[in-house]
Amino acid sequence: MPAGQKRAHAAKKEERSASDTRQPAARRRRVEEEAMRDEEIDRLPLPEGLYDSVLNAQWSHVLGFPEEEEDDEMEMKMEVKAGQAPQELWEYRQDGVTFLPVEDAEQFRPPRPRLMILTSEQKWPHALREGLDVRDCYVTAEVERVWRIVRGDLTGEFGTEDLKKKFKVRRRLLIGTPGTGKSMAAGSYLLHQLLRHDDKELQVVVYCLGAELAYVFDKTNKTVTEHADAGSIIDAIKDLAGKFKLNGYIIYDVDTHGPGPTEDFPSPKSWGVIVLSSPNEDNFKAWEEANQAARIIMNCPGESHVKAMCAWETRDTSEQEQADYCNMVGKRMDDVGPIPRCIFNESEYEGRLTAIEAALGLMSASRPENHIFIGRREVWPANDVSHTLAKAARLKGEDGNETFVNLPASFRLGHKIMGKLASIGRHHDILWELWRLSDSFPSEYLQKFAVYAFLGGGTLRAT
């Protein structure tokens, strides 16, 4: 962050501290901590031409060709189509106020892609916020599904009778495992598609990165304005909706450590809002309840999607280099799960391994809270290293809305978890929870966990 910008940011922070004393102490502390982190990150300046770069991001895609009689998704042959938009996209079916993927073996067969890539030469808001030189946005079927749902809200496909005239556009809460693309993939893709949405229905898109930074995309003038202060962001939204009578959409990307939007965060009646968050309910609970938000649960990428990402990353290298890279990423995925942030970055991967060992070491019979949430349908406890052991997987709730269950992040990790729990006599806790899920997942999916679970327990009991 440039020195002048830092000084202005600090001055505004001091002004806020005087006016925010009526907020709960814990809330004020989290806001102050987020502001400090914002200064510590070497945020990139707003680049010239960002609006056009995002609006006209270049399409590419990767096709997957299954080997004959080959079930291993990582053995699939990939073909990169750089600079080309796919001929067909995936199919979804409406289910209440959401869309779900069509369960069809042809869903990912050519000409339908395994992966789409959108390249913005001036990067994306999340990359700018984190100081990352990242131009590619990976669009999987899970990411496309998020956009289909948001588009359905804007076009009235789900109806609004249940909103009781409180809002004209349904509020959404996107929940996904940290590091799987809620921000860089789903957030970026939503922004691109919202900028291309009918200008008569939508004139402005506000992309909030936590409470202290927002980019306002003006679709009429095709400009981007940066707001690096919570008060400025709130004033801008109120002016756009009230003074200028514009229709807009807010993407609120919760900072890694929170906090999320407060229940009274500006939410104009005619605007749409989506909050992107990890399963930590401290980030969204108050806002979700106050805004009747409907959840969207984003699953982790599958093995074939990860291999497609590998193919794109190594498209300009030799076949041997491509194979070596894919094997390395596959090994990392076995160790930590399908978490792109970790498997494509060596330092993140090493850090994750250390955190996993720490989480396993904290498991004990006297501290069941360090493991009992695995296998259950519940949000994650805040600031807990056990998060590194799990991934959120989508389920249909009893009320028809989307919910999720916490599963071991990988089968190998599931084996380690069960082995550790068997050594302290607590493996039956999770075995019971997984058994209760037998009607919610394909049998072969949970069978893999069960095999690792029983092997883990049996091996330790026999020694």
pLDDT value at residue 106:
83
Residues 137 and 32 in one domain: no
Residues 31 and 124 in one domain: no
pLDDT value at residue 411:
87
* Residue 352 included in any domain: no
pLDDT value at residue 452:
47
Residues 23 and 84 in one domain: no
pLDDT value at residue 13:
40
* Residue 334 included in any domain: no
* Residue 138 included in any domain: yes
Which range has highest mean pLDDT (17-21, 389-393, 450-454)?
389-393
Could you give the 3-state DSSP secondary structure of residue 424? Answer: coil
- Among 223, 219, 214, smallest CA distance to 251 is for 214
pLDDT value at residue 420:
81
Q: 415 near 455, Cβ under 8 Å? A: yes
Residues 182 and 270 in one domain: yes
Q: How many domains does the chain divide into?
A: 3
How would residue 28 be classed by pLDDT, with cut points 50, 70 and 90? very low
CA distance 402 to 382: 21
Q: Is the pLDDT of residue 16 over 50?
A: no
CA distance 153 to 313: 34
Strand partners, 80: 62
Listed range (46-55, 115-124, 278-287, 365-374) with the worst mean pLDDT: 365-374
Q: Is the pLDDT of residue 30 over 60?
A: no
* Residue 306 included in any domain: no
What is the β-pairing status of strands 214-218 and 204-209?
antiparallel
* Residue 415 included in any domain: yes
Residues 105 and 251 in one domain: yes
Residues in the chain: 463
Residues 257 and 173 in one domain: yes
Q: Is the pLDDT of residue 10 over 50?
A: no
pLDDT value at residue 440:
61
pLDDT value at residue 373:
67
* Residue 359 included in any domain: no
The rounded percent of the chain whose pLDDT value lies above 90 is: 62
* Residue 349 included in any domain: no
pLDDT value at residue 438:
63
pLDDT value at residue 70:
55
Q: Which of 247, 263, 298 is the last residue of a domain?
A: 298
CA distance 248 to 220: 12
- Among 177, 187, 205, smallest CA distance to 128 is for 187
Which has more confidence, 347 or 25?
347
Q: 144 near 192, Cβ under 8 Å? A: no
Q: Which of 298, 315, 344 is the last residue of a domain?
A: 298
* Residue 207 included in any domain: yes
Residues 30 and 61 in one domain: no
Q: Is the pLDDT of residue 196 over 80?
A: yes
DSSP-derived letter for residue 24 is -
Residue 22, domain extent: 3-40
Convert the pLDDT of each residue in 376-435 to its tens digit.
776 776 656 678 999 999 998 877 789 998 888 998 998 888 788 778 777 666 666 666
Mean of the per-residue pLDDT values for the chain? 85
Convert the pLDDT of each residue in 79-110 to its tens digit.
999 999 999 999 999 999 999 999 887 899 99
Which has more confidence, 281 or 429?
281
Could you give the 3-state DSSP secondary structure of residue 292? Answer: coil
Residues 103 and 186 in one domain: yes
Mean pLDDT of 139-159: 97
Q: Is the pLDDT of residue 271 over 90?
A: yes
Mean pLDDT of 228-243: 96
Q: State which H helix or E strand residue 145 sits in.
A: helix 141-155
pLDDT value at residue 442:
55
pLDDT value at residue 1:
42
Q: Which of 298, 315, 333 is the last residue of a domain?
A: 298
Residues 394 and 294 in one domain: no
pLDDT value at residue 165:
83
CA distance 315 to 335: 25
Mean pLDDT of 436-445: 60
- Among 130, 124, 173, smallest CA distance to 284 is for 173
Residues 391 and 244 in one domain: no
Residues 102 and 31 in one domain: no
Listed range (14-23, 229-238, 406-415, 452-461) with the worst mean pLDDT: 14-23
- Among 186, 108, 178, 185, smallest CA distance to 147 is for 186
Q: 181 near 127, Cβ under 8 Å? A: no
Residues 293 and 208 in one domain: yes
pLDDT value at residue 297:
97
pTM, full prediction: 0.87
pLDDT value at residue 74:
62
